[in-house]
Amino acid sequence: MTRGDGQNRYSLPIRLHTKDTLKKIAFVVAFATIIAAIYFFARNNTKRFEVVVVNQTQQHLLTIAKAQAQSIKDTIDDIRAELQMLAENPVVQQAIVDNKSTENSSDKGRCCSEKVVFDRLSRRSVQVSGLYRLDAYGIIQHRMPFREDSVGADFSNKPGVKYVIKNHRPYISSVFKSYAGRKSVSVCQPVFSSQQFIGIVRVVIFLDTIQNLLSHIKVGQKGYAWIIDDDGIVVVHPKPEYVGKDAMAVRKKAFPDYGWSELENIVYKMAGGQEGVGNYQSVWRQDEELRPVGKLAAFAPIKIGNRLWSVALVMDYDEIADPINAHARNIFAAVQLLILLFIGAGAGFYIVYKKKVLLEVQAKSAERLESLNRQLQSEIAEHKRAETEREALITELEVKNAELERFTYTVSHDLKSPLITIGGFLGLLEQDVAGGDVERVKGDIKRIEGAAGKMQCRLDELLELSRIGRLVNPPEEVLLRELAREAVDLVAGRITERGVQIEILPDLPLIFGDHPRLLEVLQNLIDNAVKFMGEQPKPHIEIGARQNGDETVCYVRDNGIGIEPCYHDKIFGLFNRLNQDSEGTGVGLALVKRIVEVHGGRIWVESEGQGKGSTFCFTICTKGGSEKNEKEKREREAFDYSVG
């Protein structure tokens, strides 16, 4: 791999990580943008809506203001009409001329009309405090309800009276404080008799009753109405202390730090007799704290005689804006919540999806890993098995090699031995012949013959041994009992000679193999047993079989000389003899071992030692047994001994 490849490979996760972070940032930015857009849209919309509602409200307020203006104008005009009627009443004119001020029966007729008018006016919602009759100089002649102390009082300087005396025209005064301390205006009507000014009829109207009338108008929670006159003097206001004062001056005095230009503009328009709408900023004192309050206003003029009043309806701007804003806020919050929910759900789905994908990938990886693991395990197991097999083969091969080595060693020694004898005695023979020693010559020849015979014998045995692995008769079922009888027959001579008692146990199994070879095995073992009986007075041989797990173990047991445990392996070696004087060449047991092994069995000897007898055991397969194993084994053996 090149260096560049390596870097790419290692930078990949970092790049992925950056990509993830970028994604997150992009997501947050997108979210924030959407929220901001919604916010601005909602805000804009709300503002527009607010403007519309404000406009409508203002128009509504204006309508009410106009209605109220009309109503107040009507009321005041009614009062003026009453006064005019009274002024035109001849009885009243006569009374002024006569200056009748007492409340006596003769005046009843004159007073009657005044009383009727007063009663009528008193029943109105706009209260009048008194009805006055004054002479041309402003002196009170009569007052309804009657008050003794009033008669004769000079009212010529009272607001309105002065104007009427001078101008002989009806007049509505500006605001003043009546004797009862209530803010009032007066309406004066000149009385003429034959075109000549003779006196005045006058009523005083309590402004708080107009206030009461206006207080019924409900515009919002905090809305109210107020009236100013053309001088900017407050005529009606919910705050009684404002009444009779300059509308602007009183505010500027109370809250000098506030800008009142908007209100000033409105007041200017009102005083000018205009109708219209407007907004202004006011201030509200609440718990020693000044709070700016936005106001909505609609104003309409009231033209009554010489006077111009203007009624204004005012309500808090917030009363309209607050619900709208609250509504907008709620909607905005709801939208935000919805978006959040949507995002949350989206994120949830995304996470679930991601997790699902991840899990699937993991599951797939796990599955793949598991399968790989299984594969690996099976490979390892296979490897181990092969290794074990190999090791077993190596061990087997080593054993075989060692055996082969021993074999060649033995063969070379045992074949060389007679050669040396022959060579040696030939030399000696020459000597002895020269010396003329006949006896020695005979002995030498005998030795040479013996050695030659021994050599012949060895060669025959070797040939026989090498055949075992190669020449195989077809395997067949053989009754072990029958086989034992045959073997005993073959060794019968020696058995009889030594007087050995042979016992073949009943119920011997059916074994499977090369009949002649198996016979050879038993024959050799029986022969050996007879051979090594020693001095046993009651020689006995038992031929039997036992089941050892899956194996059938056949045995030949004798009560002969026995074998020391240290020789138990050695006796099966080629040409190994424990006793150099004994008969045989030491090939018998080697041969037996070969045959048993070729049949896939094992052979061993059990003996507790000298004089304790021996039992030669071998395993052999019973009917139908591991034929395949046998075949394999045989093939291997064939290879081994073709070398030997």
Partner 1 sequence: MRRRSEKEKPLIILLVEDNTDHAELVMRSFENHQVANKIYHVRNGEAALDYLFRRGEYADAVDSPLPHLVLLDLRLAKIDGLQVLKEIKTSKKLCEIPVVILTTSEAEKDLAKAYEYHANSYLVKPVNFAKFTKMMGDLCYYWLGWNRHS
> Residue numbers of the site for partner 1 (CB under 8 A)?
409, 412-413, 416-417, 419-428, 430-431, 447, 450-451, 567, 577-580
- Going by their DSSP bridges, the two strands 540-548 and 501-504 should be labelled as parallel
- Taking the complex as a whole, how short is the minimal distance between the CB of residue 494 and partner 1, in angstroms? 22
| Residue number with CB closer to partner 1 (147 or 568) | 568
| Residue number with CB closer to partner 1 (144 or 590) | 590
Go through 204-238 and write b for each residue having 16 or more CB atoms within 10 A of its CB, e for each that does not.
bbbbbbbbebbeebebbeebbbbbbbbebbbbbbe
Go through 532-558 and write b for each residue having 16 or more CB atoms within 10 A of its CB, e for each that does not.
bbeebeebbbbbbbeeeeeebbbbbbb
| Residue number with CB closer to partner 1 (294 or 450) | 450
| Residue number with CB closer to partner 1 (137 or 409) | 409
- Taking the complex as a whole, how short is the minimal distance between the CB of residue 572 and partner 1, in angstroms? 15
- Taking the complex as a whole, how short is the minimal distance between the CB of residue 628 and partner 1, in angstroms? 37
Cα→Cα distances 494→201, 310, 365, 530, 532, Å: 187, 166, 79, 7, 12
Cα→Cα distances 608→502, 561, 569, Å: 21, 10, 14
| Residue number with CB closer to partner 1 (154 or 405) | 405
Cα separation, 68 vs 411, whole angstroms: 151
| Residue number with CB closer to partner 1 (447 or 593) | 447
602 by Cβ neighbours in 10 Å (0-12 / 13-18 / 19+) ranks as middle
Cα separation, 346 vs 359, whole angstroms: 19
- Taking the complex as a whole, how short is the minimal distance between the CB of residue 444 and partner 1, in angstroms? 10
- Taking the complex as a whole, how short is the minimal distance between the CB of residue 526 and partner 1, in angstroms? 23
Residue 48 one-letter amino acid: R
Cα separation, 388 vs 519, whole angstroms: 36
Q: Which long-range contacts (CB under 8 A, 24 or more apart) does 254-260 make?
A: 255/283, 255/290, 258/283, 258/292
DSSP annotation string for 555-572: EEEE-SS---GGGTTGGG
| Residue number with CB closer to partner 1 (375 or 582) | 582
Contact between residue 242 and residue 250 where contact means Cβ atoms under 8 Å apart: yes
Contact between residue 554 and residue 615 where contact means Cβ atoms under 8 Å apart: no
- Taking the complex as a whole, how short is the minimal distance between the CB of residue 582 and partner 1, in angstroms? 9
| Residue number with CB closer to partner 1 (190 or 586) | 586
| Residue number with CB closer to partner 1 (106 or 580) | 580
Q: Which residues pair with 551 in a beta bridge?
A: 548
Cα→Cα distances 121→76, 151, 326, 398, 478, Å: 11, 21, 48, 149, 157
Cα separation, 21 vs 509, whole angstroms: 84
**Contacts for 173 with CB less than 8 Å, ≥ 6 apart:** 158, 159, 160, 163, 185, 186, 187, 188
- Taking the complex as a whole, how short is the minimal distance between the CB of residue 418 and partner 1, in angstroms? 8
Cα separation, 230 vs 197, whole angstroms: 28
Three-state SS at 273? coil
- Taking the complex as a whole, how short is the minimal distance between the CB of residue 402 and partner 1, in angstroms? 11
- Taking the complex as a whole, how short is the minimal distance between the CB of residue 591 and partner 1, in angstroms? 19
- Taking the complex as a whole, how short is the minimal distance between the CB of residue 492 and partner 1, in angstroms? 29
- Taking the complex as a whole, how short is the minimal distance between the CB of residue 380 and partner 1, in angstroms? 40
| Residue number with CB closer to partner 1 (548 or 579) | 579
- Taking the complex as a whole, how short is the minimal distance between the CB of residue 587 and partner 1, in angstroms? 15
Angle between helices 108-122 and 90-98 (to 10 degrees): 120
Q: Residue 345 half-sphere exposure, CB side, CA atoms within 13 Å?
A: 5
- Taking the complex as a whole, how short is the minimal distance between the CB of residue 465 and partner 1, in angstroms? 18
- Taking the complex as a whole, how short is the minimal distance between the CB of residue 425 and partner 1, in angstroms? 7
| Residue number with CB closer to partner 1 (307 or 447) | 447
- Taking the complex as a whole, how short is the minimal distance between the CB of residue 419 and partner 1, in angstroms? 5
| Residue number with CB closer to partner 1 (577 or 612) | 577
| Residue number with CB closer to partner 1 (416 or 442) | 416
Contact between residue 118 and residue 131 where contact means Cβ atoms under 8 Å apart: yes
Q: Residue 308 half-sphere exposure, CB side, CA atoms within 13 Å?
A: 15
Cα separation, 323 vs 556, whole angstroms: 120
Residue 193 one-letter amino acid: S
Cα separation, 473 vs 514, whole angstroms: 5
Contact between residue 628 and residue 512 where contact means Cβ atoms under 8 Å apart: no
Contact between residue 641 and residue 465 where contact means Cβ atoms under 8 Å apart: yes
Q: Which residues pair with 203 in a beta bridge?
A: 131, 187
| Residue number with CB closer to partner 1 (210 or 455) | 455
Contact between residue 217 and residue 225 where contact means Cβ atoms under 8 Å apart: yes
| Residue number with CB closer to partner 1 (241 or 564) | 564
